[in-house]
Structure 1
Amino acid sequence: MRIAAHRLHAVRLILPVLCLLLAAGPAAAYPPDGPATPLAVQAAYDDATIALRFSWKTDKGYPGLLHDLRSYDAAKGSWERPARVNEDRISFMVEDIDDPVQGFANHGCWVTCHTDLNGMPGNAGRGDTRHYVLKGEGQGRMLDMWHWRGGRSGPMGYAEDTWVRAHDLNSDAQGRRRDDDAGSPTTLLRDKGDRLREDQPFAVAFTFESKDVTLPEFVFDPQKNSGHYFLVDDNGLAKAAPVAELANAHSIEAMARGERQHALIATGEKANALHVASLSDEEKARIAAEALAGGIIPRPVLFDHAGDQHDIRAERAFDEATMTWTVTMIRALDTGSKNDVSFKGLDAGRVYTLGMALHDGNGSGMSHLVALPASLGKAGSGSMIEAARVSDVAKADWTKVPTATVDLFTAEPVSWQEIDASATN
């Protein structure tokens, strides 16, 4: 009955918006037409900490643990993409109750999707423009965004801590920003600074058996990867393969056991990577031999350090029998950061609005699923997501925490300008 009630709550949110759009004319569907994908959401909090748990079933047949791979092409003498591989991701935006963003309570993250964004018709010929909040009189300064990535943060035990800031329309905005660094990068291994290098260089020059081979900057430590510097599968060194076959050769458990790594981690307790330029020529020769055999390596490199970007801890589990992800994001109720929304108002009965999105189709950009906004509050607040008050979040019994089912829809290129114009007609 609880789930049925929550689905009814979602329908009540949808109907007024649909009516406004139908009255406005043949605009793109909002929410998009087509079947809904259910996302199970739970929340628990104690005196100092809040946790949000998300569960969903993938329809790909494998978990998205790998992201943006490169394989050495001996004929070309260069590193090529063997197949397009995108990680699974779950994220949500939440507004500051005391500095609300116009339209967010009714439309969620659609308020950050504008006509000039990448992939939108109005972006043709423009720069690289990503989600942002539209500036205006009485407009909120930002939205807090929690972003878990299956290949680029999950392996470290974090979710990416970001925020979406305000910009003017058609300003080529890079609206989504990572939270402040722990400090400027001070070494090549980035013991401080960005938590991620998206594009590790493939530029370590080495001559192997009279052949000039460029090696990646980072490879796996073979002691933590079944004796290999590159991805491994059932037959040892992994070669170019279909995405599903390659993805199914890896698991969270295998990485934890130090058998098959799926993400390069350069620093921190879970470090599993070697810095190639710092190695002996003898070891570089072994790396070159594997590269020439067609070795595959992730392009991103992860850096684990204490800092604002790592405020959100994350736990992940994948049930192969049901093909179901369970991801839990955990953070202090109040981090003290100006770019993080405080949840200390839960006990006082304050209700927060969340806009959620899911990438789970080996795609990026507009390939994600989106939801209408959902309310979050304590038990008895009438919120769609009821946050359970527990003595210790770390010991929470999630079987006793209320579950809300949020419907996700395939995203369509509908801008906030279209939605806002329809809503005001």
Structure 2
Amino acid sequence: MRKRTLNLFIPLLAAPGLVAADNIRVDVERNIYVPDYPNSHGTLQVAAAYNGDEIQIHYVFETDNPSWYHQYWRYEDGEWVRYGSGGPKPDPHGLYEDRISMLLDDGAVDGFDRYGGWMTAHDGMRSLTSEAESSEVEAHPTLGDDLGRSDVRKYLPQTRDVDDPTDVSWDAVRDDDELAQLQEDGVFLDLWQWRAHRSHPMGYADNGYVLHYRLSSEGDSMFTTNWDDDGNHPAYMFDPDETGRVALDWDELVDGEYSQDDPYFISEHNSVPFDPDHDWQEGDVIPQRFLQEPSGSRGAIRAEGGYEDGAWRVTLTRSLDAPDAMDSKTLEDGGLYNVAFAVHTGGFGARWHLVSLPQTLGLGVDDEDVDITAVRVDGDLADAELEWTELTVFHPGQITWQFLHSEDHPGQDQVREGLLGVRDHHVIEELRQYIIKQELAR
């Protein structure tokens, strides 16, 4: 088994501007939470294998603080109250799931090979200091009326009708015909999201894509909201015949006592309709997400593995052929693809994750410029001798597409001319510190 190491850095004994604390700046009102030095980076190991039909992506991510819990309803004072928050700081009870995500492109999205996930980050997005007002998003004809959204999430700059990159605006969405043409031309990013709570227990990762918004692929999701609006209570509770209980216990939950083998999640396989006449006790807990078997392209990525020996060890499997060409990319033997990864851990959600620089994924491509080599096997993918690549993942701050093209960015001219990518100029440790300093200066 060969191991390739990329983009690693030597930690500084005293990184300039950083202090050893739980965080180095918090301003919740302005969506600022800057992690301390040890928590602002990590290492994601990636390997891949494929045969004539399928591809597998393997992840290993070490963490001492894993979470397969997400959001829960807690019974208190006669009401069901939701707990679990995705930011702008770690959930105080640890009730937010770990996630590993991959953005994938086949070359159709100009710029992704140079800037990775940063080309999907824009002023006005949720969880940025500049986030748009929810009322403005709700009133937008595309994001509000058509999509039913109240916030701005990842999107490609190609989907906005502007001439200058610094003028790219969340509300300047191209018309429906133009968006449809972009999608037909493959100008979108395939998004594979492994979710430790909302998808993994059902044996799936979530399939989506990024176009003018972060969108879900065709088909039914593997999770929905466990809530009955009419009754003002959860729609389902645990089936006592299957689980030995109707609810979890709050103290045991926040103490992390429910293992991956326990019913920490609720699904169509371990639940019954909620009984409002049950003698509910203070501190009873029911998961807020209801898990179900997905369908269509949304359920095209199978997941297996779990947390073991101090690390998430997860394998994702999907067909080489796109399950739906309008929301997924086809992969071919000999093909070279651009990818970027992100890891959510430690009770963080939204933009408070760790990201990689853009990488290349080659299927059977023997080239020194290929970062991640997918190994070809003729039979069972489990027989592949994997070639592992170690990637540094780090806090991305609030670097946006507009900033990269602005006078505030020293590399503005090279970015505008398309001559320089993030890996061409930056040493990863210097970049990580630069990003944190930018956020500290806000």
2:42 touches 2:392 (CA, 8 Å); kept in 1? Answer: yes
Residue of structure 2 in register with 1:47 after alignment: 52
Residue of structure 1 in register with 2:227 after alignment: 201
Q: Deviations over 1:49-91 (max 9, x none)?
A: 000000011132xx31111111101x25343438451001000
Q: Deviations over 1:144-185 (max 9, x none)?
A: 0000100000000000010101x3xxxxxxx1111112xxxx
Cα distance in 2 for residues equivalent to 1:336 and 1:318:
28
Q: 2:156 aligns with which of 133, 150, 155?
A: 133
Matches within 5 A, 1:15-414: 34=37, 36-60=41-65, 63-73=66-76, 75-81=77-83, 83=93, 85-97=95-107, 99=108, 101-125=109-133, 126-127=136-137, 128-135=151-158, 141-165=187-211, 167=212, 175-181=213-219, 193-197=220-224, 199-203=225-229, 205=231, 215-225=233-243, 227-231=244-248, 238-240=249-251, 243=254, 245=255, 247=256, 249-252=257-260, 254=261, 260-266=262-268, 271-276=269-274, 285=277, 288-289=278-279, 291-319=280-308, 322-338=309-325, 339-344=327-332, 347-348=333-334, 350-377=335-362, 378-382=364-368, 383-397=370-384, 400-414=385-399
Residue of structure 2 in register with 1:28 after alignment: none
RMSD: 2.6
How far the C-alpha of 1:393 sits from its partner, in A, is 4.2
Cα distance in 2 for residues equivalent to 1:388 and 1:223:
45
Identity level (%): 27
Cα distance in 2 for residues equivalent to 1:80 and 1:144:
31
How far the C-alpha of 1:242 sits from its partner, in A, is 6.8
Amino acid at match of 2:57: L
Change (3 A) 1:411 1:424: closer
How far the C-alpha of 1:394 sits from its partner, in A, is 4.2
Change (3 A) 1:123 1:284: closer
Change (3 A) 1:77 1:341: closer
Change (3 A) 1:293 1:152: same
Amino acid at match of 1:363: F
Cα distance in 2 for residues equivalent to 1:114 and 1:333:
31
Q: Deviations over 1:197-244 (max 9, x none)?
A: 1x3225575xxxxxxxx642011112221x10112xxxxxx134573x
How far the C-alpha of 1:410 sits from its partner, in A, is 1.4
Q: Deviations over 1:127-157 (max 9, x none)?
A: 3000011126997621000001000000000
Cα distance in 1 for residues equivalent to 2:115 and 2:41:
17
Cα distance in 2 for residues equivalent to 1:332 and 1:43:
13
Cα distance in 1 for residues equivalent to 2:319 and 2:203:
15
Cα distance in 2 for residues equivalent to 1:372 and 1:419:
15
1:50 touches 1:393 (CA, 8 Å); kept in 2? Answer: no
Residue of structure 2 in register with 1:6 after alignment: 5
Cα distance in 1 for residues equivalent to 2:323 and 2:194:
21
Runs of 4+ displaced beyond 4 Å: 32-35, 136-140, 202-205
SS at structure 1 position matched to 2:403: helix
How far the C-alpha of 1:124 sits from its partner, in A, is 4.4
Cα distance in 1 for residues equivalent to 2:401 and 2:321:
30
SS at structure 2 position matched to 1:159: strand
Amino acid at match of 1:158: Y
Cα distance in 2 for residues equivalent to 1:415 and 1:79:
35
Residue of structure 1 in register with 2:437 after alignment: none
How far the C-alpha of 1:424 sits from its partner, in A, is 3.5
Change (3 A) 1:312 1:296: same
* TM-score normalised by structure 1 residue count: 0.72
Cα distance in 2 for residues equivalent to 1:118 and 1:41:
29
How many matched pairs?
334
Change (3 A) 1:334 1:415: same
Amino acid at match of 1:413: Q
Amino acid at match of 2:154: H
2:67 touches 2:94 (CA, 8 Å); kept in 1? Answer: no
Q: 2:412 aligns with which of 413, 421, 424?
A: 424
Q: Deviations over 1:12-64 (max 9, x none)?
A: xxxxxxxxxxxxxxxxxxxx99563111100000000000000011132xx31
How far the C-alpha of 1:305 sits from its partner, in A, is 3.7
1:204 touches 1:216 (CA, 8 Å); kept in 2? Answer: no
Amino acid at match of 1:419: L
1:94 touches 1:352 (CA, 8 Å); kept in 2? Answer: yes
Residue of structure 2 in register with 1:21 after alignment: none
1:361 touches 1:368 (CA, 8 Å); kept in 2? Answer: no
Change (3 A) 1:48 1:365: same
1:144 touches 1:340 (CA, 8 Å); kept in 2? Answer: yes
Q: Deviations over 1:374-402 (max 9, x none)?
A: 111125133111111112344334xx211
Cα distance in 2 for residues equivalent to 1:85 and 1:408:
22
